[in-house]
Amino acid sequence: QLLSAEDAPDLELMLPSERISLANRKRERGNIHYQRTDYAFAINSYGIALQITEATSRVDISQQEEEELLDMKVKCLNNMAAAQLKLNHYEAALRSCVSVLAHQPDNVKALFRKGKVLALQGEYAEAIKTLKRALKLEPSNKTIHAELSKLVKKHSEQKGAEQAMYKKMLGNPTNASLQKHRAKSSWSLSWKWLFGATAVAIGGVALSVVIAARN
């Protein structure tokens, strides 16, 4: 259980404003852990905050309060993804980003972190696509610009290395064809020379026979 017996009031009976306030306090505690590089503790705090935002409620809740709870949930998920990235928990970070984007498809922070995770997993094409979407939403964001430029370069280098590897595996088709053609031509010339030499030899024998007969 993320919430202990002492630390866990009945969330179902709490007023939405109280839940939002409590979730935010837990999230801020997570931020303090994050700043201290205690990423595992930060993730735990963000998880508690998420549990608070996702709890069912038996009290009336307005549309605005629902939106505020959702906004708090998204903040927690984004913070959690950042901490998960620091611990190289790529799959978990990707899930956190996907959860954010399920609620807010144009969330730039989630798109940026998703792009970073995909790049770290070697999914360069998909990462570039994701970062381009983030950049389209925030064209002046220098951090996204820098990450995208770095990623495009890496992707280009990867494709170049793959092409070189394929050529090495398959050999150079042009040179192979040329060598085959040369070998064929050489074989053809050898046979032509042999036939020519044989014909000359036969002709010489025939001439000798004719001369001998006349004598």
Residue 210 CA, distance from chain mean position: 87
pLDDT for the residue numbered 190? 52
- Closest among 46, 50, 21 to 33, alpha carbons compared: 46
The residues near 37 (Cβ < 8 Å, ≥ 6 apart) are: 86
pLDDT for the residue numbered 205? 45
pLDDT for the residue numbered 213? 46
pLDDT tens digits, the chain, 215 residues: what are they?
Answer: 455 545 557 888 899 999 999 999 999 999 999 999 999 999 999 999 999 999 988 889 999 999 999 999 999 999 999 999 999 999 999 999 999 999 999 999 999 999 999 999 999 999 999 999 999 999 999 999 999 999 999 888 777 666 777 777 886 555 555 455 555 555 554 545 455 555 545 555 444 544 444 54
Sequential DSSP letters for 33-101 = HHHTT-HHHHHHHHHHHHHHHHS--SS---HHHHHHHHHHHHHHHHHHHHHHHHTT-HHHHHHHHHHHH
pLDDT for the residue numbered 10? 85
Query: What is the end-to-end Cα distance of the chain in Å, rounded?
Result: 124
Amino acid identity at 141: N
Alpha-carbon span 119 to 148, nearest angstrom: 10
The residues near 146 (Cβ < 8 Å, ≥ 6 apart) are: none
pLDDT for the residue numbered 1? 46
Asked whether the whole model's pTM tops 0.75, one would answer no
pLDDT for the residue numbered 118? 97
